[in-house]
Chain A
């Protein structure tokens, strides 16, 4: 029976692409799940070598792309929801349309427990939990509770790879089985001494008392302990030391493992991408790929669309950096701080459902970091005015701020004088719009064909 349903849903996918109605990255899966709600269970079970599932607030798509590159270098071609469609229907669509021996799926935080229950993955990577789209996901702590419950249910059958530096994630390790591995950063020089004001996890998950941070790297990711109950950050099995950030050009670090150390030369910027790389290397190790091979594969990696991708438009180079929540945006701002100013910036703040209708978060991100470092700034998107307002109150000169709600027009405005470099910071649906525009202009290929 599943075969007929699969055939019907595949046909819908071809039809939706042929008629140009969307990328066909979700529709076939939606149809299939309507026809057979257990389709993910059935198709997932047919993957001979099982599945690897990735979830996090920030870095899902990049980490999955890193892991896919590592697998490909090892001659393994996973079934992978590479277009970033990461709810049940996105997973179902990938299972429908691709063939392979193993699965690699990034999964939305809220959908993770259901998808994991259906797929029974061999390996689950949990990388971080930040404040994000409270209107859709609810509180971070509540999400962590749901993940703990899932981990307990899968403890016997699934290996977990966890971020030692995120106390919300490391806590899940109290409920997983023996094959749990941890990764983290061990470089004092890269740390900030104070927690950012929008940080999660100020309290110990065990006893509720305030955590003590010795150092923090990204948001609440860092080295912590609980003076009240003695909880400590787990010792990572895989860690990064001697980190050197090279602005938009990427970073260098030494990856320390039980079996030796390796020099990572990552063409992606920022400490957040170092975390993504560590997560990918640790997960690859859990599924049989030696860290040395992973490090080599990552050094050859190109940016995933919208995650630090660069595109040439006439005389200008457009660097695209997705922003969607305070922690992620802060890391982008910290990366831009290393670039030579004054910077030409293009923002696109949308409040569609996939962005989160609530745009409060822009007031939690530290745009103050770049005041005094910016030149021409154009704000677009459905909430362009409040974006510009946020920047004004971050101390950016009001006369440099232009509001052009329409994304198409705003791009023309920012590119008008042919600036050498433009940094584009769109939210999720604005990124999709930008992609459409650029595809129309033939400057880039459609992401789902890559």
Chain B
């Protein structure tokens, strides 16, 4: 089996150590004897929609995000749409998450997004929403916790067609007021839990790998459990940091 990951704009959308997610996925595939293949797709480049188990896009600085937004719509929207229709897994983090929606509004400035999910983002007047987060989600059928860190100026509002990734237990989430965090739609996940969120949530990494492989190789795919002592400890400490507000 082979897990093929396509990383979108790794040179621009990497502000919060997004490569931690990729390192994490890679090792967890290799340790199970699953081949891992990483391809990058940058500014101005196009990609074939077939042959990817997962797409990843991270967060970027304001200037980079603006550059990427235009390019994304122009050169990659169709291929991403085809991938998602075919059941490819996608994880979009922070700035990448914002770009999934219709638009990003900042004052009189409006950046068009991919329009793949019913959500929009507006730059708030208040301070950035920064701090540790804990959310509860039923992504894999049972109630699970996700721990992470958020740092965003944009406030995201889900439309009636969109389903949130989870409910905020501690932290701000999409907009600091409606109690929801992230978005999910089929095998697509968008979230403000930025940068290396998979190392803090090994179960989510495995969920993404398994879902991607099932889509390619059939429902029989089952991941072998790994020795996860450190992973579990890191998850617990990250959750505690958010919940205790320490």
Q: Do A and B bind each other?
A: yes
Give me the interface of A with B, judged by CB distance under 8 Å: 131, 134-135, 138-142, 197-198, 202-203, 208, 326, 351, 357-364, 382-386, 388-390, 392-394, 398, 401, 403
- Min distance, Cβ A207 to any Cβ of chain B, angstroms: 12
* Chain A nearest Cβ from B103, distance in angstroms: 21
Contact of B230 with A403 in the complex, beta carbons under 8 Å: yes
The one of A197, A203, A351, A359 in contact with B19, judged by C-beta atoms closer than 8 angstroms, is A197
Complex Cα distance A383/B239, Å?
A: 11
Residue B106 interfacial (CB < 8 Å)? no
* With known contacts A361-B17, A363-B196, A401-B230, A203–B23 Cβ distance under 8 A: no
Task: Give bound CA distance, A133 to B213, whole Å.
Answer: 36
Contact of B199 among A135, A361, A363 (CB under 8 A): A363
Residues of B within 8 A of A398 (CB): 227, 230
B 203-246 binary contact with A (CB < 8 Å = 1; else 0): 00000000000000000000000010011011011100100001
B61 contacts chain A at the CB level, 8 A cutoff = yes
Q: A389 with B15: in contact, given A203-B63, A358-B151, A363-B20 (CB under 8 Å)?
A: no
Query: Nearest residue in A to B227 (C-beta to C-beta)?
Result: A398
Given A197-B14, A197-B19, A198-B14, A360–B195 Cβ distance below 8 Å? yes
Distance in angstroms from A141 CB to nearest chain B CB is: 5
Among A142, A357, A364, A390, contact of B149 (Cβ-Cβ < 8 Å): A357
In the complex, whether B48 has a CB less than 8 A from a CB of chain A is no
A141 touching B194 in the complex, CB below 8 Å, given contacts A360-B16, A360-B149, A386-B200: no
B110 within 8 A of A: no
B contact residues, total (Cβ < 8 Å): 38
B35 CB-CB contact with A under 8 Å:
no
Interface: B131 (CB within 8 A): yes
Q: Are A360 and B237 in contact (CB under 8 A)?
A: no
Contact across chains for A403 and B233 when beta carbons are under 8 A apart: yes
In the assembly, what is the distance between CA of A357 and CA of B195, in Å?
Answer: 14
Query: Once the chains bind, are B19 and A360 in contact (CB under 8 Å)?
Result: no
Among B20, B63, B195, B237, point to the contact of A385 (Cβ < 8 A): B237
* Structural contact, A139 and B241, CB atoms closer than 8 A: no
> CB-nearest residue of chain B relative to A394?
B23
B13 CB, min distance to chain A CBs, angstroms: 12
Closest B residue by C-beta to A391: B230
CA distance A142 to B128 in the complex (A): 14
Which residues on the B side are within 8 Å of A384 (C-beta)?
237
Provide the residues of chain A in CB contact with B23, threshold 8 Å.
363, 393-394
Asked if B233 and A385 sit within 8 Å, CB to CB, the answer is yes
Whether the Cβ atoms of B234 and A326 lie closer than 8 Å is: no
20 additional A-B residue pairs with CB within 8 Å, beyond A198-B17, A202-B12, A382-B246: A134-B15, A139-B15, A141-B63, A197-B10, A202-B11, A351-B241, A360-B17, A360-B20, A360-B149, A360-B195, A363-B17, A363-B19, A363-B196, A382-B237, A385-B234, A385-B237, A392-B230, A393-B27, A398-B227, A398-B230
CB distance from A446 to the nearest CB of B (A): 27
**Chain A proximity mask over B15-35: 1 for CB below 8 Å, otherwise 0:** 111011001100100000000
- Cross-chain pairs A/B with CB under 8 angstroms, 9 sampled: A135-B149, A140-B61, A208-B63, A357-B130, A364-B20, A385-B230, A385-B236, A386-B234, A388-B230
Number of A-B contacts (CB under 8 A): 97
Contacts of B164 in A (CB 8 A): none
Chain A residues positioned under 8 Å from B67 (CB to CB): 208
B109 within 8 A of A: no
- Provide the residues of chain A in CB contact with B17, threshold 8 Å: 198, 326, 360-364
**Contacting residues of chain B (33-78) with chain A, CB-CB under 8 angstroms:** 61-64, 67
Is B173 among interface residues, defined by CB-CB distance under 8 A? Answer: no
Residues of A with C-beta under 8 A to B19: 197, 363-364
Contacts of B190 in A (CB 8 A): none
Of the candidates A135, A142, A403, which one forms a contact with B130 in the assembled complex, judged by CB atoms under 8 Å apart? A135
A388 to B230, CA, bound (A): 7
Decide: B199 and A389 in contact? CB cutoff 8 A: yes
A364 to B63, CA, bound (A): 20
A95 CB to closest chain B CB (Å) equals 31
Contact partner of B62 (CB less than 8 A), chosen from A139, A357, A359, A385, is A139
Q: Say if the beta carbon of B182 comes within 8 Å of chain A.
A: no
Chain B 140-164 interface 0/1 with A at a Cβ cutoff of 8 Å (1 = within): 0000000001010000000000000
Closest beta carbon of chain A to B50's beta carbon, Å = 28
Do B149 and A386 touch across chains, with their CB atoms under 8 A apart?
A: no
Question: B132 in the interface, Cβ–Cβ < 8 Å?
Answer: yes
Query: Contact check: which of A203, A363, A386, A394 meets B237 at CB < 8 Å?
Result: A386
CA distance A385 to B10 in the complex (A): 27
Closest CB in chain B relative to A159 CB, distance in Å: 30
With A202-B11, A326-B17, A364-B20 known as contacts, the answer to whether A139 contacts B237 (CB < 8 A) is: no
Task: Give Cα distance in the complex from A385 to B235, angstroms.
Answer: 9
Contact flags B86-106 to A (C-beta < 8 A → 1, else 0): 000000000000000000000
The 3 closest A-B pairs by CB, nearest first: A363-B20, A385-B233, A360-B195
Inter-subunit contact A386/B199 (CB<8 Å): yes
The interface residues of chain A lying within 8 Å CB-to-CB of B230 are 385, 388-389, 392, 398, 401, 403
Residues of A within 8 A of B237 (CB): 382-386
Is the beta-carbon distance between B233 and A357 smaller than 8 angstroms? no
Q: B199 near A390 (CB under 8 angstroms)?
A: yes
A389 touches B151 (CB 8 A): no
Closest Cβ–Cβ distance, residue B57 to chain A (whole Å): 16
For residue B47, give the distance in angstroms from its CB to the closest CB of chain A: 20
**Could you say which residues of chain B place their CB within 8 Å of the CB of A140?**
61
Known: A134-B151, A135-B151. A358 touches B16 (CB 8 A): yes
Taken together as a complex, chains A and B put the C-alpha atoms of A351 and B241 apart, in Å, by 9
A54 to chain B, nearest CB (A): 25
Distance (Å) between the CB of A386 and the closest chain B CB? Answer: 4
Task: Tell me if A389 and B234 are in contact (CB < 8 A).
Answer: yes
Closest CB in chain A relative to B42 CB, distance in Å: 10
Residue of B nearest to A386 (CB): B234
**A356 shortest CB reach to chain B, Å:** 10
